[in-house]
Structure 1
């Protein structure tokens, strides 16, 4: 059993969701886990993680799992791959990497039907797995799907996973010490969770995507944030107005999920709110303001 902590920006919703993702992943991969925030005055807020089965830093073990995991696309029984448009490739044009991601058919599926651009993902290694399915949640809950248009969940997952692998290979110590703060240039496709990537054409005065300008953000925030939304969702109390909570002290996932939605669970709680901005057809997370502390 080992307890570890990482710095976190409580005003960046994606970083808070990613902390929840680390907790969910550690609970699945390393045995019973607990996590929580600490924000004593005069110090950098941090997220603490404790997992019974962790032999070393639990954040490092979760990242190592993702680096070596096989990525799968998930689909329901009867799913048929749509025919790929036969386009003549330009000389030197790279092959579509999403075509190489294996398809796994599930006996049950979270949505009534499968959208080829929004298939859920599975990360699997040595019989252990993590699923990322929240954007196709067919229940009454808010799916909190932010990417839209032609952006592809599999392509986004591949991009974020590769960026994490690159950081693991080149800057492992930095990545483990500050996985949410370490940022790299990321292209236009993302899950739209890191507020540092929440530009709009109006804000920037132009479209960075159209000019091939990359925006700096964290692939860990994007990927772990998605995992954090698997069983917990922030509270969209008005259209595109969202509230989330951060709690002080260690909680198991079942209580942390409620706290993330801003529900009081008998521990100190700070509640933040943010606007889901628009960037084309996509919604994007923006930086938050603190609402209340209890």
Structure 2
């Protein structure tokens, strides 16, 4: 357990300001594996172990069994449990949840985490807010990256129209640009919802360990950072297949970790819905054309 600002170890330290940088912290800022850490009464040293999905105490307020003091989880020091010291006990604190500055900075850190360690990011999402955080992240990615991708095209044609003196051409291209960005972003979000839901259905039908639809959907959304490749000038459109493959591979690895399924089944659950949607779209287009 380390300070999110300066990386100082916070084990066995009473919650409050970080001794190194002064950044406030409390145990509820972190998520642990259940039973992996002990919350210690500062009066008598009695240990208590978190049993919630976040590894927190239930209830968070109670009376100490040994010294009968009133205790609050967020006022208790935390230490690793014997037997867990050599294994992962602390779940990844997502950049969005940690105190990393403003929204833009946290979004950039989330993009980096999604590209570099998608499994850790998906696994570390707060259980109670995983879908909310992941949805905001996906919406941001869809709007920002599709918007940046379209700027060169609309800027080129818009500048040309202005140069030849077409009245109100800038307004027309601005409105058209916003419509295109909104349409692409909406299509991306809807497709992610549909594909993620179908992936979860495959997991349920396959009788895999079910961590809940919200965890599956949040994994789909939070691994969407490969869309950043779309903003590369002149190359973004051609990199679309690579973006989809990278996204689905990250999603599959997250499914494998979260649901405890085999790698083969995780990849099948991730890719099958998207391929099915693609095949149906092509088939529908052929039928309509004929």
What range describes the TM-score normalised by the shorter chain of this pair?
Answer: under 0.3
Question: Could you state the TM-score of these two structures normalised by the residue count of structure 2?
Answer: 0.23
Greater RCO between the two (CA within 8 Å, min separation 6)?
Answer: 1
Of Structure 1 and Structure 2, which has the larger fraction of its residues in strand? Answer: 1
Question: Could you state the TM-score of these two structures normalised by the residue count of structure 1?
Answer: 0.23
